[in-house]
Amino acid sequence: MTQSTLSAPTAPQPLNGITPISHLGVIRAVGADAASFLHGQLSNDFALLDRDHARLAAFCTAKGRMLASFIGFKRSAEEIVLICDRSLLAPTLKRLSMFVLRAQCKLSDATGEFCLYGLAGSAAQQYLSADAAPWSLRHEGDASVLALYPAAGNSRALWVAPADQQPAGPALSEDLWQWSEVQSGVATLSAPLVDAFVPQMLNYESLGGVNFKKGCYPGQEIVARSQFRGTLKRRTYLVHAEKALALGQEVFSPEDLEQSTGTVLQAAAAPSGGWDALVSMQIASAGRDDLFAHAALSEGQSADAANGIDLQLLPLPYVLLADI
Q: Ramachandran region of residue 274, left (φ > 0), alpha (ψ -120 to 50) or beta?
A: left
Task: State the pLDDT confidence band at 10, using cuts at 50, 70 and 90.
Answer: very low
- Tell me what the mean pLDDT of segment 105-110 comes to: 98
Q: Within 10 Å of residue 61's Cβ, how many Cβ atoms?
A: 15
Q: Ramachandran region of residue 230, left (φ > 0), alpha (ψ -120 to 50) or beta?
A: left
Q: Which amino acid, 267?
A: A
Which helix (DSSP H) or strand (DSSP E) does residue 92 occupy? helix 86-97
Q: Ramachandran region of residue 153, left (φ > 0), alpha (ψ -120 to 50) or beta?
A: left
Count Cβ neighbours within 10 Å for each residue of 294-313 and write b for 16 or more, e otherwise.
beebeeeeebeeeebbebbb
pLDDT at residue 5 greater than cutoff 80: no
- Span 265-278, pLDDT tens digits: 999 999 999 999 99
Q: Within 10 Å of residue 170's Cβ, how many Cβ atoms?
A: 11
CA 175, distance to chain mean position in Å, is 17
pTM score, whole prediction: 0.92
